[in-house]
Structure 1
């Protein structure tokens, strides 16, 4: 059940005249117009974006603290006794979802990329956040997605062109799932879709923010961006796991679990890739930059400046290690533990 300002949000499911998808659309649009959430979105947009970097600056890092970073389709639940911040970025049509237990401070963050992973994904997020009963008060933040309507032209011409959006169906599914569950979800931030959209002089739309950072001890949330040094540990292998997970039935409809909450370690479970994926990587590697954007992104005009380079680094790795057993010998996970200064080391 969704709450706004401590008050239950009306549930349109009682109207038999509306289809399930229409109910989800109606609930989302009504939430987007709620005065408290409009105000909170405006306040969020006035915050300074946190730029996270682990690069050395003299003898000190430019960012201090114990971080957990998440890539697309990953999630992690963090204990404020062990972790200071959890964050994600590189979201255009994706949404960063934060669910936090008001009492214990246990905080779960996910980088949602598809309506297909929402139902099971939220259950995964709640597994270590809920208390022993369903009366837990949960604060919720959503950041990401934008007005990404693109026109898809049919072979017969423009008369059959129809709009297609990635952000809107995902946001609808998130709201629909939270509303139908029995837990109490208090929406605090809803910086999504029109609240997270800007336009250039040509009328092209872009997300205002591509990432967020949540402070585990307080639950405060900030817009954020990360550089390559802070997207760790095991960046390339984790990026590959995202691609491989779409063809792995074990991950169907689920978020990817990479972080162990109780031990404060990253456990990168083994995944395998076929020679077919290596051939695909080789073919994609030959494409010009503009074609890579059109082929590999749901929002080609809105991607960050390092998108193409990140894709090429993944393909280079696959071409260098076509046999997955070189990455996961004896099918063992890759383990990373935190050092005294907050970095990660392979163990």
Structure 2
């Protein structure tokens, strides 16, 4: 019976191999808890958003999408570094170090507030351990970084290495989270004609006709 149970677990692991199941679960949970109502016909996650090459390596069919809030249309899209979000590097760091902050345990790091049309990077704490990790990994070669830091080394975007090195540089120069989130306050931005502008917490502006999202 133990052998049969082991085989069953192995088959289950093989079934989900190459998929980001924990992230998918967080996305589903965030949709379920959201104040907005969603009419979803096909949720493009896991097998619905995966293609494989001749060697069996998994690749996403699309990495991002654009939502037209006036019509509800969803379109595949890609965004360069300048259009992804304000303070992209801070957002990336928050995603990578949030496991040290118990207040974010099991939660999806949401940023865009549809009610106020604000981009809010909620505070996240981390320890000096991140400085030591960054200093150690920064000395690795590109191939070593891919094997060490990526769950899909063969499927990473061209800017993966540059982005992760920029995160480490940030942590090396600003190892104390209080420099990024003074008084543990969020970094809040509002939309302007030229993009996004930093604002004080609680301010709001009118909703836009169209919103761009990035799925990392």
The alignment's TM-score, normalised by the length of structure 2, stands at: 0.75
Q: Secondary structure, in 3 states, of the residue corresponding to 2:78?
A: strand
Task: Return the offset for 1:118.
Answer: 5.0
Per the TM alignment, residue 198 of structure 1 is displaced from its structure 2 partner at its CA by 4.0
Instruction: Select which of 110, 121, 124 maps to 2:30.
Output: 121
The more displaced of 297-306 and 214-223 is: 214-223
Match of 1:218 in 2: 71
Question: In 2, are the aligned partners of 1:143 and 1:212 still within 8 Å (CA)?
Answer: no
- Asked if the contact 1:93–1:298 (Cα under 8 Å) also holds between the matched residues in 2, the reply is no
Structure holding more helix per residue: 2
In 1, Cα distance between equivalents of 2:27 and 2:188: 27
After superposing on structure 2, the runs of 4+ consecutive aligned residues of structure 1 that deviate more than 3 Å are 92-95, 202-205
2:122 aligns to what?
Answer: 269
Alignment gaps of 5+ in structure 2: 1-7, 200-216
Counterparts of 1:318 and 1:123 in 2: how far apart (Å)?
34
Larger fraction in strand: 1
Kindly tell me: are residues 283 and 140 of structure 1, through their superposed partners in 2, closer, same or farther at Cα, counting changes over 3 Å?
farther
Structure 1: any 5+ residue segments left out of the alignment? Answer: 1-20, 29-91, 96-111, 131-136, 147-190
Number of equivalences: 186
In 2, the alpha carbon distance for the partners of 1:94 and 1:224 equals: 20
Quick one: which of 233, 252, 258 aligns to 2:105? 252
Trace 1:69-218 onto structure 2 (pairs within 5 A). Answer: 93-94=19-20, 113-115=23-25, 117-118=26-27, 120-125=29-34, 128-130=35-37, 138-145=39-46, 191-192=48-49, 196-200=50-54, 204-218=57-71
1:272-329 Cα deviation digits (max 9, x unpaired): 2211011101111111111111111111100011001100000000001111111112
Greater C-alpha radius of gyration: 1
RMSD in angstroms over aligned alpha carbons?
2.7
